[in-house]
Amino acid sequence: MTLTQTSGLRLAEEQLTAEPPIDLVTRCALPAPSVEQSSNLPAVDAQPVTEPYPLDRAFHAMLARFTGGISPVALSLAYLDWSSHLAASPQRQLERARDVVRDTDRFIDAAARAASPAQNPWSVIKPQAQDRRFAAPLWESPPFNLYAQSFLLGERWWHDAATGVHGVSPANEAIVEFSGRQVLDMLAPSNFAASNPEVLQKAFRSGGENFVFGWQNWYSDLIRMLSAGKTAGDEQFVVGKTVAASPGKVVYRNDLIELIQYHPTTEKVRPEPILIVPAWIMKYYILDLSPQNSLVKYLTGEGFTVFAISWRNPNASDRDVTFDDYRKLGVSAALDAIACILPRRKVHALGYCLGGTLLSIAAAAMARDGDNRLKTITLLAAQTDFTEAGELTLFINESQVAFLEDMMWERGYLDTTQMAGAFQLLRSNDLIWSRLSHDYLMGERAPPSDLMAWNADATRLPYRMHSEYLRKLFLSNDLAEGRYHVDGKSVSLADIHAPMFVVGTLRDHVAPWRSVYKIHYQVDADVTFLLTSGGHNAGVVAPPGEPGHSYQVMTKAADASHVDRDEWLKLAPHAKGSWWQEWSKWLTARSGVLGDPPRMGFGNVDGLPDAPGDYVHT
C-alpha cells in the first residue's frame, strides 16, 4: 500500500495556489482514509542509504549503552583542548591558585566567627537567585551554612577555571564547564542526609519516619522504571479522560498523523480555523492538558475552530522516515484536509518547539510557491536560527552527532530515555537532585501535575529524520543561512509575509528566547514578539486566572527599523497575566466576522475515532 492510497487525500499541484480552485470540494470527495495503521512508514522520495563501516557503528552503539549516549571522544577532545591551553597559561594558573588562597582565608575567618550573632551567614559567598537548594532558613545556621558556602566556593572556582582560558573554543569550553558542574551538583551538601539540615530536622521530628517513606518511594520508582510504568501519582491523568479530553473527532489520518477537529463550544465561530502543529518529541496534548490548563479548550471558548496534529509514535521500521516527510505528511497534509472541510478559508497556523521550526519551513516553501493559505503564523518557543541554541548544543557537535547516529542506526530510532535524559541534565538541580532529595531523603512526594504526567509520556524519533534535523539545522544552520531545500529548491524565511506572533519564554533551556528572537532578522513580515515568564513548557501552559504569570510584548512592522534584544527588553511594555489572552486579541483582530460552525470532517469519517484518536496511545 502506498502513502497515496493510505492517506486517501492527495490534492493536485494546482491546488497549492493563492486561491483554491472552484472544484476543491469535489476533489476532496474521496473515500475515507483507511483506519488500518500501517506498521511501516516508507520515506517519501527517499533513496536507500548505504551504511558505512557497520562493525564500527555496532561498536559505538554498544559503547553508547554505557555512556548514556554521550560521546566519550567529544568529551575527551573538549578536555584536551581546555587542559592543553590551561597548561600553556602560567599566569592563568597563578590567578586560580590565588583564588584558592583568598577564598580559603576568607572561609576560615568566617568559620571562626560563625557563632557570632552579628555574623552574616553568607559573608563569603551567597547562592544565586535561581539556586533554591539552600533557600531554607536552616541553611543559615552553622555548620550547615559553612557546608553550603564551601560548596559554592568550589562551584565558583570551577567556573572560573573552566571558562575564559585563552585559545579554547567556545563549544569545548561550554562542554568542560557543564560536565564539571554536573559532578559538583551531584556532590552538593543538599544531596546527603548528614549535611542537609532540612532532612535532619525532618528525621528528628518524625523519629526517622522520613527515611522509611523515602525508601518506599525509591523502591516504588525502581519497580515502575523496570516495568516501564507511570511515575507515581500520574495514574490520575488518563489520556482521553482527564487530559487530552477536549471533545472532537479525528477527521483525517495517514501513516504519520491523525488530524483532530475539535467541536465548537460557542454558537458562532470565526471563519479562519487554527491549526496546531506540535513537536513530535512529545505527545501533542501539552496544549490540551486538564480542562483548566487546555489551550485548545480556551481557543474553542473564544470562538475559534481548532484543528491539531497528533503524530504517530515511530518504531524501528520507520528508521528511514525523513524530516521532509514530517512536512509533507504533517503540515501539508493537514492543510489539505482543512481546505476540504473549509474551502477558500485561510488558516491561523501555530507551531510549538520543533513543530514551529517545521511550520516555518513549510510556510517559507508555501510562500516561495505562491501558496497564501496561511493567514497568520504563531511560533511558540521555536527556533529558526541555531547559532545560539543554548545548552542543548553541548550535545550537538560532529563527534556527538556521529555517535548518536551510530546509536540510532542499531535501533532505528532515538529512544525516549536519551531525549529525556538530555533535557533533565540541562536542569539537573531541579529535575534530578532536588527531586531525589525531596522524595528519598525527606520522604515526601510532590503533588502530581498534568504537565509532569505529559512530560513522562515521551516518544521516539526516527533515525534518519533526527540525523537530518541535527545536521541540517543544528550543525549547518541551513535554514537561517538559505541552504535548506524543499522539493529540490532552496527556501528563504524572507519570503514569509504573513503576520507573525512569536512567543519566547524567559527561562527556556531548550529554545532560549534570545535565539527565538532572531526571527525578527529573517522574515519580511509584521512580527509581534512576546516574552513570557516561565520555562519551555510551563511558560507556554499559562492559562488565565493562574497566578504568577507575566509577559512583555511589542510589535515590529515589516518596514520598521530593527531593535536588538537588549534594547527590546528595555522598550517592551510589561503586563501581568496570561499571554493566551494577548494572543487571542491578536488573532481576533486578524479574523473575519463570526458565523456558523463548519461541518465535522469531510466525506465519510465514521470509521475514524473520536478525539484524542489512536496515535496518541502508541
Instruction: For 483-507, write each residue's pLDDT tens digit.
Output: 999 999 999 999 999 999 999 999 9
- Encoded amino acid at 13, one letter: E
Instruction: Report the alpha-carbon distance of residue 413 to residue 402 in Å, rounded.
Output: 14
Q: Answer yes or no: are the C-beta atoms of 281 and 353 closer than 8 Å.
A: yes
* Rounded average pLDDT over 412-432: 67
The region of weakest confidence among 226-240, 350-364, 427-441, 507-521 is 226-240
Give the model's pLDDT for residue 327: 97
Give the model's pLDDT for residue 71: 83
Kindly report the pTM of this predicted structure.
0.86
Work out the angle between the directed axes of helices 72-87 and 170-186 (0-180°, nearest 10): 100
Q: Answer yes or no: are the C-beta atoms of 477 and 387 closer than 8 Å.
A: yes
Helix, strand, coil: what percent of the chain each, to 5? 45, 10, 40
Mean pLDDT of the chain: 87
The cell numbers describing 360, all together, are: 516555518
The region of weakest confidence among 200-214, 415-429, 586-600 is 415-429
Give the model's pLDDT for residue 445: 86
The region of weakest confidence among 2-16, 532-546, 603-617 is 2-16
Instruction: Report the alpha-carbon distance of residue 288 to residue 323 in Å, rounded.
Output: 25
Q: Is the pLDDT of residue 553 over 80?
A: yes
* Rounded average pLDDT over 131-136: 90
The region of weakest confidence among 9-13, 48-52, 427-431, 547-551 is 9-13
Give the model's pLDDT for residue 391: 73
Q: What tens digit of pLDDT does each residue of 595-615 get?
A: 999 999 987 777 899 999 999
| Location of C-alpha cell 518504531 | 315
* Rounded average pLDDT over 303-322: 95
Give the model's pLDDT for residue 222: 85
Give the model's pLDDT for residue 520: 97
* Rounded average pLDDT over 520-527: 97
CA atoms within 13 A on the CB side of 181: 18
Q: Is the pLDDT of residue 394 over 90?
A: no
Torsion angle of alpha carbons 261, 264, 268, 272, nearest 10°? -20
Neighbours of 418 (CB within 10 A): 22
The cell numbers describing 411, all together, are: 535501533
The region of weakest confidence among 118-122, 260-264, 521-525, 551-555 is 118-122
Q: Regarding predicted confidence, which is higher, 183 or 114?
A: 183
Please choose, from the candidates 244, 74, 104, the residue with its C-alpha nearest in 3D space to the C-alpha of residue 171. Answer: 74
The cell numbers describing 553, all together, are: 510584548
Position 447 confidence tier, pLDDT thresholds 50, 70, 90: confident
Give the model's pLDDT for residue 425: 59
Residue 61 exposed, middle or buried by CB count within 10 Å (0-12, 13-18, 19+): middle
* Rounded average pLDDT over 366-394: 92
Give the model's pLDDT for residue 430: 66
Q: Regarding predicted confidence, which is higher, 159 or 455?
A: 159
Give the model's pLDDT for residue 398: 86
Q: Is the pLDDT of residue 438 over 50?
A: yes
Looking at the DSSP assignment, which residues form a beta bridge with residue 413? 462
Cis? peptide before 612, omega within 30° of 0? yes
Q: Is the pLDDT of residue 210 over 50?
A: yes
| Location of C-alpha cell 463550544 | 265
Q: Is the pLDDT of residue 559 over 80?
A: yes
Give the model's pLDDT for residue 234: 61
Position 279 confidence tier, pLDDT thresholds 50, 70, 90: very high
The cell numbers describing 612, all together, are: 484524542
Looking at the DSSP assignment, which residues form a beta bridge with residue 462? 413
Give the model's pLDDT for residue 379: 98
Torsion angle of alpha carbons 197, 199, 200, 204, nearest 10°? 140
CATH, domain range 3-43+238-415+460-536+579-617: 3.40.50.1820
Position 408 confidence tier, pLDDT thresholds 50, 70, 90: confident
Cα distances from 211 to residues 30, 66, 461, in angstroms, run 63, 30, 39
Strand-strand pairing, 374-380 and 306-311: unpaired
Neighbours of 128 (CB within 10 A): 10
Q: What's the distance, Cα to Cα, between the start and end of the chain in Å? A: 21
The region of weakest confidence among 260-264, 452-456, 469-473 is 452-456
Report the share of the chain in percent with pLDDT over 70: 88
* Rounded average pLDDT over 544-554: 95
The catalytic residues are 353
Report the share of the chain in percent with pLDDT over 90: 66
Helical spans, DSSP H, in 8-71? 24-28, 54-67
Give the model's pLDDT for residue 29: 52
The region of weakest confidence among 52-66, 79-93, 108-122, 286-300 is 52-66
Radius of gyration of the chain (CA): 26
Give the model's pLDDT for residue 397: 82
Helical spans, DSSP H, in 12-71? 24-28, 54-67
Q: Regarding predicted confidence, which is higher, 1 or 474?
A: 474
Residue ranges covered by each domain of the chain: 3-43+238-415+460-536+579-617, 68-187
Give the model's pLDDT for residue 377: 98
Torsion angle of alpha carbons 583, 584, 587, 592, nearest 10°? -170
Give the model's pLDDT for residue 48: 43
> What is the chain's length?
618
* Rounded average pLDDT over 387-393: 80
